[in-house]
Structure 1
């Protein structure tokens, strides 16, 4: 029994494979996806599974069983099913509880729009050639129920021809715990698109010379370009988007564009589409104008947004929250004067949360080996992280953007960190060093401004005179 078969899309290579080792058919299945070697195409097909009863478990099983789609190519077809599953989850029904009749009828209609879909797509999206140039286009969109992104690659050959193809896509349903406004969901879609773009650029091995992001949300784009004070959640998300954009700019030219809704390829990924319309949808090739010169695109760069749109942005900013700076603290920072004592109190609180609930968010590695009633080192470190995260939520990250000499990045715990140490010689007078009005007490000052640079005997500047929020002046030796 031969457990291996070989097959190529090249007839010449197939002729050199021994009959015993060559696959008997030119059509094979890989993880449920058919590959036709003679024309080198993949057959995307959604199969229906017979269901005796409709429950939350059977719905999830059917969604996962329609088609194996790791690249998200069938996102517009599948998003209505994912939204339906979220609606079922809101009902707090058991996994094996039969759904109400109205839900069953809705599920049957959704299944009918998906099951039976079949389309052949080229396996090869682009070919790497030394003389070709590659452009990555990221389209993002959101609705009240979902936000999504889709990425297209455009290959420009030496003779001037261009070809655009869908590369990957991703969609998520809107958060279930707290209803978000459309502009905030649009921001989430932009961040999702940039995250997928970064992963694509690092994994696919293609050197993209140009990366463009297209959104039909004027408000979200204005938030990204704005220097105005925004609500804390918006500020944090905007800062993450700016950091991602700067990372992309290190290897490729990057720009934000406003695109009309009717030209946004990601629009159907949030609205959904039936199988009849999906087969011939522009989803597979993207807008035709991607193959035209950039000057002929029906889009606006983020710098060309009108002032009237900016007024709308300011109005919406005030409407999205009652108090942009309001964030109720979880830990009693204002009531405790000692930072070590504050860390111990928070550590005890987190220990109680772990022991009294099944919450794994505050789990530590050596929890089973705790023999002392006092918090151990791991608990104190976790407590300190939670204190810093609270300060970030209260004060946002607007101050970071004002200090351009700092290179900052969010670590795996969501804490904003400095990744490159600036030299104190490069510091300027009146530079703000720490968070405004912060209540953290840790042997240094909540906020300070450089009032004087102090040179050493060798003329090198290694310290400075700082003025704190209380008006007290001190000399610091470790600013850099």
Structure 2
């Protein structure tokens, strides 16, 4: 991607290097200037992304707004991810997006879809070996998409586990945990359990390479023995079930909860079309801070996390006129949020202000503890 963007003539002197004339090691070393942006320069990524966005803007009228919106809103550097209702729309979007990118000198390729109809209609250079290998008898592959494993055949998300032997030290545990990439928190209640182990090791001042005490070791081994079961966890990629029909209304429901061990939240989307369908969208789990803090304050901190997640989802998901509801099992937190007269201490006042900036008290409701699904996010659970 970087090499498709030329460097401005006045900036070429900043990208100089020495090399042998015509690549002959027996000849003298001369100075060259790089004419295109290169890997390693701090500016390359931002310049290339700006050029891609400018390409979409310049060609929006000629090649259509759908392709321009796709390039501007659904690309992460050089990876584009998009979901559309029908195969015909996907094929049209592929062709228009390819033409749009080519206007700026970017060749869109290495394409993959969960629809064999779309793959069959895609240009050969875009579908590549996938087209020739899988359109016949074979199942579609498992691909890594921005760090998450996507089983194309079943159209589901899953986690790839590469278990390797690590010493039972704080460093070894941290290395294993860091190898689990779960950006939207689909298995965060399970990860919370090992975060508690790491926190306890820090609290006991166990150094990075010291052997873990026996009581911690048994907890770690129990957690690690469950780790391979994550391979069996599959989450449907699409929020909407197949043949659900046209969506009439969309609700977001955000649950938050806190305990002595941790605090967390989970966000669900509810699609309404005569019938209703709910699915998990995003979750977060965090260990409670080492410094003692009251449960009501932890509950308030969790409510702030829910609001931040809601802000992210509103920005990223293309739903309009959606309704949001925030649920908590803490009446103290509801009292904080609904209060308009009493002055609070700085800790409470700051967090209430953050909540009120993004939501109104009418959005907040009480949920009984047994009906609060964020209890899993705050207490943890096995696979």
TM-score by length of 2: 0.63
What is the alpha-carbon distance in structure 1 between the residues aligned to residue 334 and residue 178 of structure 2? 34
1:42 match: 157
1:72 match: 185
2:374 is the alignment partner of 1:262: no
2:197 is the alignment partner of 1:84: yes
Match of 2:320 among 207, 212, 216: 207
What is the alpha-carbon distance in structure 1 between the residues aligned to residue 247 and residue 147 of structure 2? 36
Count of residues paired in the alignment: 262
Match of 2:128 among 13, 16, 21: 21
What is the alpha-carbon distance in structure 2 between the residues aligned to residue 234 and residue 33 of structure 1? 37
2:346 is the alignment partner of 1:232: yes
Is the Cα contact below 8 Å between 1:48 and 1:116 reproduced in 2? no
What is the alpha-carbon distance in structure 1 between the residues aligned to residue 377 and residue 350 of structure 2? 26
1:139 match: 255
1:169 match: 283
What is the alpha-carbon distance in structure 1 between the residues aligned to residue 283 and residue 207 of structure 2? 31
Is the Cα contact below 8 Å between 1:57 and 1:95 reproduced in 2? yes
What is the alpha-carbon distance in structure 2 between the residues aligned to residue 203 and residue 10 of structure 1? 24
Q: Which has the higher helix share?
A: 2
2:264 is the alignment partner of 1:148: yes
Give CA deviations for 1:264-321 in whole Å, capped at 9, x if unaligned.
111111111112xxxxxxxxxxxxxxxxxxxxxxxxxxxxxxxxxxxxxxxxxxxxxx
What is the alpha-carbon distance in structure 2 between the residues aligned to residue 201 and residue 191 of structure 1? 15
Quick one: higher RCO (CA 8 Å, sep 6+), 1 or 2? Answer: 2
Q: CA deviation at 1:56?
A: 1.3
Quick check: 41-50 or 216-225, which moved more? 41-50
SS at match of 1:164: strand
2:218 match: 105
SS at match of 1:116: helix
Is the Cα contact below 8 Å between 1:6 and 1:22 reproduced in 2? no
Is the Cα contact below 8 Å between 1:71 and 1:168 reproduced in 2? yes
What is the alpha-carbon distance in structure 1 between the residues aligned to residue 114 and residue 260 of structure 2? 44
Gaps of 5+ in 2: 1-108, 135-139
Give CA deviations for 1:128-184 in whole Å, capped at 9, x if unaligned.
997532111000001112111111111112xx12111111111222222x2101110
Gaps of 5+ in 1: 276-480
What is the alpha-carbon distance in structure 1 between the residues aligned to residue 163 and residue 315 of structure 2? 36
Q: CA deviation at 1:196?
A: 0.8
Taking only aligned residues, the RMSD between alpha carbons, in angstroms, comes to: 2.5
What is the alpha-carbon distance in structure 1 between the residues aligned to residue 148 and residue 315 of structure 2? 25
Is the Cα contact below 8 Å between 1:151 and 1:167 reproduced in 2? yes
What is the alpha-carbon distance in structure 2 between the residues aligned to residue 116 and residue 33 of structure 1? 17
1:242 match: 356
What is the alpha-carbon distance in structure 1 between the residues aligned to residue 247 and residue 219 of structure 2? 52
What is the alpha-carbon distance in structure 2 between the residues aligned to residue 209 and residue 162 of structure 1? 15
Is the Cα contact below 8 Å between 1:77 and 1:114 reproduced in 2? no
